[in-house]
Amino acid sequence: MAPLLQLSGVSKRYGGVQANSGIDLSVDAGTIHAILGENGAGKSTLMKLIYGVERPDEGQVFWQGGAVALSSPSDARRLGIGMVFQHFSLFETLSVVQNMALIVPGSKTELATRIRDLGAAFGLSVDPQAMVHSLSVGERQRVEIIRCLLLNPKLLILDEPTSVLPPQSVALLFDTLRALRAKGMAILFISHKLEEIRELCDCATILRQGKVTARLDPRQGTAHELATLMIGRPMPPPVHPTPHGLGEERLALSNLTFANEDPFGVSLKDVSLSVRGGEILGIAGISGNGQQELAALISGEIALKSVASAVTLMGQPVGNLGAAARRKRGLAFVPEDRLGRGAVPDMSLADNALLTAHSRGLVQNGFINRKAERAFTADCIARFDVRTAGPQAEAGSLSGGNLQKFIMGREMMLEPSVLLVAQPTWGVDIGAASEIRQRLVAMRNAGAAIVVISEEIDELFEICDRLQVLHKGHLSPSQDVAATSVEQIGTYMIGAAA
């Protein structure tokens, strides 16, 4: 019997980048097939070709043995292909059932009934009348999956579905996917998380730089072997915290409460934390639980008279001071969005360095000292191994990992007493991510106080000394990494801790 979906020699090029080249893939009904690869390996492009968002330059797609040319997602849906996007394609100002009605025929009452039935059958409960902007990330993912299931697909594509979920929800999602497989559905599961793939998938196709580098049964190999195939060289060894001396308290929040006026934002309630020199505090939690607000309150992007004494830096109240004043007192900050807040995309690296390092002799008598600016930037590029044409390269032209290394380097070269880093390795390839983590640990060992806000639990366990979990604007008590477990942190992440 012909496979459900088959690709032969599919290629796609964007400008100068060969995103996919000569990909062969075959997916059978009733299996879960993993597509494994690093950021930029071409996974998302491949899925867009299968779902008809983009058309291949070369190669042929076969569906149930017959050649097809998909020119739009509606073509793909008509064949029986459904897709759950990594960045959800939901509309926040519409209700759940309105979001469904956009592509699923039927009256709203019928749809609401079907949503509840599917929810009951596959463990995907969600209120059909709820507005999407009021839903948690996990609920939004359920809405996306239900929207696909309403069209009775034969093939379901999930793009990095677990990157937004707490550990407990991942287990629920896997139960749902296994139930769908048992019904004969084929599932394409895209991920870079090796343990998950070994747990869930029947077969795996590994991509590297747009090409297929291996096809195998993931249950046969170890995670280490899969990683080596994925990045093309042995995995860098993880860094583990080493014993060290603690300094004085550098940054503290005490009973900080922040009422957010933005209806899509999160309010913080009674948040307390304290970081001393020589330690890394990790803030775990799923995005959208107050991370952006917490980062803005610490960095000074939100400065309020009412919280003046609730935020202290080196023992001094700073809650009412803006970002520049806090930086002067020894705070440095790496925001989560690199392009737009961490760096100005259209400006050169040198000018971007100037933005936060102006106090390091880069400005004299109000004029920019171009020589000092270039020297500082070149030093940063060399010391932090930023792959770029030079200090005059535009920030926007760097890859995510290289730009992140540059921004981290710029902030670290300021030798801050306190460093706040949000999502340090988002969209950064494994090699660069491991370098960034090593730098953070080295900086801690040199005596800095560091706060890392991250969604990646594994990363937090690797580099942090203590963890606190943010959930719906509440911050959990501090846990020593050595004395806690992923399960324990996961319980806090979904607010289920007693």
Partner 1 sequence: MTILTFILAGTLAAATPLLLAALGELIVERAGVLNLGIEGMMALGAAVGFVVTYHTHNPVLGFAVAALAGMALSLVFATLALGFMANQVAAGLAIGVLGLGLSSLIGKPLESQTLDAPGKLSIPLLADLPVIGPLFQQDVVVFLTLALAVAIWAVLNHSKLGLIIRAVGENPTAARALGFRVLRIRLFAVAFGGAMAGMAGAYASTIYTPLWADGMIAGRGWIAVALVVFGTWAAGRTAFGALLFGALSLGGLIAQAAGVALPSQLLASLPYAVTILMLAVISSNRRRMRLNTVASLGQPFAG
For residues 383 and 353, the answer to whether their CB atoms sit within 8 Å is no
Between strands 186-191 and 155-159, the pairing is parallel
The H or E element that residue 280 is part of is strand 279-284
**Binding to partner 1 by residue 107, rule CB under 8 A?**
no
- From 68-76, 161-169, 326-334, 456-464, give the range in contact with partner 1 by CB under 8 A: 68-76
Q: Is 63 in the site for partner 1 (CB under 8 A)?
A: no
**Do 441 and 463 contact (CB within 8 A), yes or no?**
yes
| CB closer to partner 1 out of 108 and 360 | 108
Q: What residues pair up with 95 in beta bridges, in sequence order? A: 131
Instruction: Determine contact, residues 166/493, Cβ cutoff 8 Å.
Output: yes
Nearest residue (CB) to partner 1, 49 versus 90: 90
Judged by CB under 8 A, the residue of 233, 240, 261, 483 near partner 1 is 261
CA distance 49 to 163: 22
Beta bridge partners of 297: none
Size of the site for partner 1 (CB under 8 A): 26
Nearer to partner 1, 75 or 202 (CB): 75
The three-state (H, E, C) secondary structure of 154-202, written as one string: CEEEEECHHHHCCHHHHHHHHHHHHHHHHCCCEEEEEECCHHHHHHHCC
Using rule CB under 8 A, residue 263 touches partner 1: yes
Q: Which range in 70-78, 186-194, 220-228, 472-480 contacts partner 1 by CB under 8 A?
A: 70-78
Q: Quick one: 85 or 406, whose CB is closer to partner 1?
A: 85
Least gap, CB of 55 to partner 1 (angstroms): 12
Determine if 461 is a binding residue for partner 1 (CB under 8 A). Answer: no
Q: Which stretch binds partner 1 (CB under 8 A): 46-54, 426-434, 442-450, 489-497?
A: 46-54
Are 319 and 310 in contact, with CB atoms under 8 Å apart? Answer: yes
Stretch that binds partner 1, among 121-129, 257-265, 329-337, 358-366 (CB under 8 A): 257-265
Contact pattern from residue 109 through residue 138 relative to partner 1, giving x for each residue in contact according to CB under 8 A and a dash for the rest: ------------------------x-----
Query: Which of 67, 91, 383, 446 is in the footprint of partner 1 by CB under 8 A?
Result: 91
Beta carbon nearer to partner 1, 22 or 265: 265
Q: Cα dihedral angle (147, 148, 153, 157), rounded to 10 degrees?
A: -170
Helices (H) and strands (E) in the chain, counts: 16, 23
If you ran DSSP here, which 8-state letter would residue 498 be given?
Answer: -
Helix (H, G, I), strand (E, B) or coil at 203: strand
Site for partner 1 contains 300 (CB under 8 A): no
- Binding test (CB under 8 A) with partner 1, winner from 93, 220, 242, 364: 93
**Interface residues with partner 1 (CB under 8 A)?**
51-53, 72-75, 77, 83, 85, 88-94, 98, 101-103, 133, 261-264
